[in-house]
Structure 1
Amino acid sequence: MKYLKKLSCSECSAYSLTKDSRKEYDEPADFETAIKACGFGKFNLILLILSIPLCWMSVIETTTMSYVFPAAQCDLDLSLGDKGMLNAITYGGTIASAFMWGFIFDTMGRKRPLIAGFLLDGIFAVLSGFSQNVTFLMVMKFFGGFIMNGPYAALTTYLCELHEGKYRSRMPIFAGLSMSIGTIYLPFLASFILPMNFKLILADYLVLHSWSLFLLLNALPALMGGMIFFFLPETPKFLMTMGRNEQALKVFQMIYSLNTGKPKETYPIKILINEPKANHRNEPESFLLKGWRQISPLFAQPFLGVFILVCSLQLFMTMGQNTLRLWLPQLFQAINDYKFFNNGTSSTLCNMLSVIQPTNETEECFVNFDNSEVYVNSMIVSAVSVVAYVIVTAVVNVLGRNTLLKILGLVASGCAVGIYFSPHSDIALIFIAGFNSLSNIGSKVILVVVVDFFPTTLRTMTVSLVMMCGRGAAMIGNIIFPKLLEMGCGPPFFSMASLFFVCFCLSFLLPKPKENFV
């Protein structure tokens, strides 16, 4: 007892470890043991809170135009085809950069590319706010998508690699939940900014409108994200993979200290195992050859079958989800305009959508700024999605990803059919909210499969390629959707239902959890 009284606090903490605990850490620890010893606490909570607005950037980059269309259609002389292209062009940028970003993050780490990615995205978002014509706006949205594709994919991986196994599977769901909060933020901000309908002349060829200010304000989360990552660590998993165990151990100690409030020196693990280093050669070779060396394992067993399957699931699911999602504000605006011209009277969805058809060229362009219902409906749809994410986060480990994907695919397909048969705008809103929530969650559950089945050195590349497939499909969907609307009311919604029924069928082919390859 006399000796114990003389021990320092750090020595007491170390001494308080049980004999079994000390024995467990006598040998070099692998990543899972090391991250588990850090616990879950202040560091994790701070990280998750800071990542919420960063997760918004994917939503902001792809969705802002959906709210800009009704306000800017006269200023920019937008047709239905222009709107479809503006929605699609962002996804074109993400496709063009998918390979590049996956290679960069899997070879250079997560932190430094995340800093550069968020700052560059913020710059292009600012430039888009100064657009004076459709062409310049399309160019800025393309580069915005080109930049944003990497940081969002890497952010999901970053969160996964800083949590132990029992929390890791929830991280893609958390990212999706944060994105859903972002979908509430956008219409909330739009409801204050867009109805202002001002015109500020800065120069002969530079005029700002309310939608310009809306775009400028939406650059702030990306610029903030670039600054946040200056103060966050590189993931210890990546450091261990690159053979930088001393740096990884310092990160583990920092996380442990923040989570427990104890000195870094009391972190019970002193040595980390030497993981197989990633195959990144130092000799000069072409970028394409390095990239091929990085992704070639995906095209061989045991990864090829699962890779094709998750790409197919993401393709169909994202085509349906992101096509309808990006057209929702325009559809709600059509419903609002129908009521505006018919003394507040509602009708079947198909009757109300008739006002979205192209107008006679001789008619004067008209924008209805009395559209608070558009933003309220958009926020309701987003709020339902947030609630659904909370529920799914709680049950994903109980149901399992395979069963969950089956449920999501089948019910979302039914909701798409329900939208078409809606006799009233309120009924349509219920089905739209259900479809949006379930389809959005489904695309994130697929990322859980990627995290489960693919190793660290392939993970970000795989996420990028899987998301590239989905975003390519979303680009095509947004180009086709205006054509489907011109054909009539049924084709858009029955197409959505068919896509998700295919996803329901494909989900039966997913391997069981015990067949995990990692």
Structure 2
Amino acid sequence: MKKVSVASYGSTKEVKKMNADLEEALEIAGAGKYQICHCLLMVMALTASLMEVLSYSFVLPTAACDLQVPVHLRGLITSIPNIGIILTAAFWGRMADNYGRKPILLLACMAAGLFCFIAAFMPNLVSFAICKFFASLFLSVPSSLSFAYAGEITPTRRRDLAVLCVNGLLTVSSALSPLIAWAVLSIDWRVNLGAINFRPWRLLTIVYALLLVLTSISVIFIKESPKFLVSKGKYREALEVLRYIYSKNSGRPQDDYYVRIQIITIYLLLRRLKFLSTNAC
């Protein structure tokens, strides 16, 4: 390890220029303000997806007359989000591993929110169910990826605590779903829009949809998982993320982050072995 001088707060101190793996680099970046904001956003994503799943219990009874929902189909309609999550969980997991946590979470929340928003204006049961089904195909992303995303951005010594807090806050925030439903559905009113009567259950559907859209917009302002970036060989981008986290947590300039990520991938090792065998011939 090589010692270098780093200026911080107007003084000069001796630090070590370190070669570190990703976990060590995360430890040095620290756990603080950035992880708190990041985990709160993951709670928001989880809450938005959970509210969408729970919304059927509040929307269907009040929408039964407008949509002419037969009694024998109510159970099937209520299970739509669970069907979509089960069908697409493995697919979205692979997509997140290939294209990144941030873009997939952003895309899924926005798509689910838009389909739910459109569903609020559907005139009959078939069109409403189709829109809700398409929305459910994206719900497995915020409902599962958020836990991994929260863990990957947090140092090892605080990772279990971060995931535990996210799960605990999700349990508490689930109480918001019936509270919102009670506030919106407590007064019966209607507005004639021609093809449809706009009633409280449609407004409630829009409210739940907007939570997903707001989550998607908020994801724009967070950083990609450094673990994903390292797995794709994007070491420079991973280091920039770690510097940003360090700066937000410590309040110091990003240049004070004194770590180089040292990683030897199997791919690079195989290339080296191939090069040596070629020269030997």
Q: Does TM-score exceed 0.5, indicating one fold? A: yes
Number of the residue aligned with 1:241: 231
Identity %: 25
What does residue 169 of structure 2 align with?
178
Q: 1:251 to 1:139 in 2, by over 3 A?
A: same
**Alignment-derived partner of residue 155 in structure 1:** 146
> Residue 8 of structure 2 aligns with which residue?
9
Whether contact under 8 Å (1:59, 1:182) holds in the other structure is: no
Alpha-carbon contact 2:120-2:206 (below 8 Å) kept: yes
Query: Bigger CA drift: 173-182 or 191-200?
Result: 173-182
Give the match's secondary structure for 2:263: coil
The residue that corresponds to 2:118 in the other structure is 127
- The aligned counterpart of 1:477 is none
- Residue 32 of structure 2 is matched in structure 1 by 41
Structure 1 Cα separation of the partners of residues 110 and 175 of structure 2: 23
Q: Distance in 2 between matches of 1:70 and 1:145?
A: 20
- Calculate the aligned-residue CA RMSD, in Å: 2.2
TM-score (norm 2): 0.86
Shift of 1:173: 3.1
2:64 maps to 73
Give the CA deviation at 1:170: 3.4
CA distance in 1 between counterparts of 2:263 and 2:172 reads: 39
The alignment partner of 1:270 has SS state of strand
Asked which structure has the greater RCO (Cα within 8 Å, sep 6+), the reply is: 2
Residues paired across the two proteins, number: 263
Counterparts of 1:208 and 1:173, CA distance in 2: 41
Using the alignment, how far apart are the partners of 2:94 and 2:200 within structure 1? 39
Change (3 A) 1:97 1:247: same
TM-score (norm 1): 0.48
Q: Tell me how far 1:210 sits from its aligned partner.
A: 0.7
Shift of 1:251: 0.6
User: What is residue 254 of structure 1 aligned with on the other side?
Assistant: 244
Cα displacement string for residues 233-257 of structure 1 (whole angstroms, at most 9, x for unaligned residues): 1111111111111111111111001
Secondary structure of the corresponding residue to residue 274 of structure 1: coil
Q: Secondary structure at the match of 1:190?
A: helix
Q: CA deviation at 1:11?
A: 7.8
Say if 2:109 and 2:139, in contact at 8 Å, map to a contact too.
yes
Contact 2:55 2:205 in 1 (8 A): yes
Distance in 2 between the 1:121 and 1:97 partners?
13
Q: Which amino acid aligns with 1:106?
A: D
Give the one of 88, 94, 100 matched to 1:97: 88
SS of 2:49 mapped into structure 1: helix
Structure 1 contact 42–258 (Cα < 8 Å) conserved = yes
User: For the Cα contact (< 8 Å) 1:118–1:223, is it kept in 2?
Assistant: yes
Q: Classify the secondary structure of the residue corresponding to 2:193.
A: strand
Change (3 A) 1:11 1:115: same
Q: Give 2:206's match in structure 1, choosing from 212, 216, 222.
A: 216
How many Å separate the matches in 2 of 1:122 and 1:33? 38
The DSSP-based 3-state class of the residue aligned with 1:106 is helix
For structure 1, the residue ranges without an aligned partner over 5 or more in a row are 1-5, 278-518
The answer to whether the 8 A contact 2:191-2:197 is kept is yes
Instruction: Give the Cα separation in 2 of the matches to 1:141 and 1:179.
Output: 23
